[in-house]
A = this chain, B = another copy of it.
Amino acid sequence: MEITILVADDHPLIVKGMADFLLSNGYKVIAAETNGIMAYHKLINLKPQIAILDIEMPDMNGFQIVEKLNTNGHSSTIFIFNTIHKEQSILQRAIEIGVRGYMLKESTLDEILICLQSVIRGGTYFGKNLTNQYNSDHENTITSKLSPSEIKILRLIAQKKNTKEIAEMLFVAEKTIEKHRSNIIRKMGLSQTKNSLLIWSLQNKDELLLNKI
């Protein structure tokens, strides 16, 4: 029997490219969406065997779609992410919510087929190029070496809040936030220059804000 697949990505060309490619390789593409909410509804109604999703999409992102379907309704769909994100911690979170395949948009067409074959056989596929680009230790430390409060503060810093604003939002003294900032800088091995924490948090913004914790 043919394998049914849903494809979703906010770039129409990728949706079409993927759909055509899958069709020419014997898969049955039953839906192709460029919007998160539309993809979500089609997933509920059509129950495809596989869904290949982008992470960033209008209205609803890939994480939200998978989380909602894997917790409430017990979806039987196998989820694969197709994304530009190489960060180890984003892959990590994808694995945690039950995503079975993870491909980079820069990956070759062969890799798409290898990934599909692997998940269909009941396995997983979490592409290469992920631990290469950045060192995996560095990426892991954000979630592993920091305490919950530190991560909460870090996310606010990434949203351009200053110490005073963060203190007001969390109902604690500014000195407390200052201490946390200092601890984060020490734990992460950042330089002692001004704004190193701000710059670093903005660079790791995707990773910090896509991760829940």
Chain A residues with a Cβ under 8 A of chain B: 10-14, 16-18, 20-21, 34, 82, 105-109, 112, 160, 162, 193-195, 198-199, 202
Contacts and interface: CB of A to CB of B under 8 A. Distances in A.
A39 to B, nearest CB: 15
B109 A13 contact: yes
A16 B198 contact: no
Given A12-B107, A13-B17, 11 more contacts: A11-B14, A11-B105, A12-B106, A13-B82, A16-B21, A17-B20, A20-B20, A162-B194, A195-B195, A195-B198, A199-B202
Q: How many copies does the complex hold?
A: 2
A9 to B, nearest CB: 9
A160 B105 CA distance: 28
Interface centre among A13, A16, A194 (most CB of B within 10 A): A13
A16 B199 contact: no
A91 B16 CA distance: 26
A108 B20 CA distance: 16
A14 B14 contact: yes
B109 A12 contact: yes
